[in-house]
Amino acid sequence: MNYNNYKGKVVERWGVILKGWPGKKGIVNPGKVGRVAEVKILLKALTNRSCKWERLTEEGLQLRIQDNMVRQASGEQVYKGWKVARRKGIKSAKTLEDVGEDVDEVDSS
């Protein structure tokens, strides 16, 4: 699952949400949940189905897409770009949006 771009790559693409995720951090990679106690809380929520996938209505999906676009336009990073792989000749990994290039255009010499 794409935890870093959950809103764009999961919610908007598939029209589903993960409802009931415990904790204050929001939906994150389980490896980044935190301490053992927090992981146990997540496991219990998934096991007893208080945290589960729920399909959005078409209207609900459209409202989420609009909200995400407004938040992105106001400066919140809702949609995260892909990183360019580090290769010889590239000083640092930047998102494709930052580089302004297509992957095929990156010099791999």
**Could you read off the pLDDT of 19-34 as tens digits, one per residue?**
999 988 888 888 888 8
CA–CA separation, 4 and 29 (whole Å)? 8
Task: Write out the two tokens for 33.
Answer: 């949940």
For residue 23, the model assigns a pLDDT of 84
For residue 83, the model assigns a pLDDT of 63
pTM of the model: 0.65
Cα-atom radius of gyration of the chain, to the nearest Å?
Answer: 18
Task: Write out the two tokens for 61.
Answer: 């999906």
Could you tell me where the beta strands, DSSP code E, fall in 13-76?
Answer: 16-19, 52-55
For residue 34, the tally of other CB atoms under 10 A from its CB is 13
Mean pLDDT of 60-73: 93
Residue 103 — very low, low, confident or very high, per pLDDT cuts 50/70/90?
very low
Over residues 5-23, the pLDDT tens digits come to 888 889 999 999 999 999 8
Nearest CA-CA partner of 81 in 61, 103, 108: 103
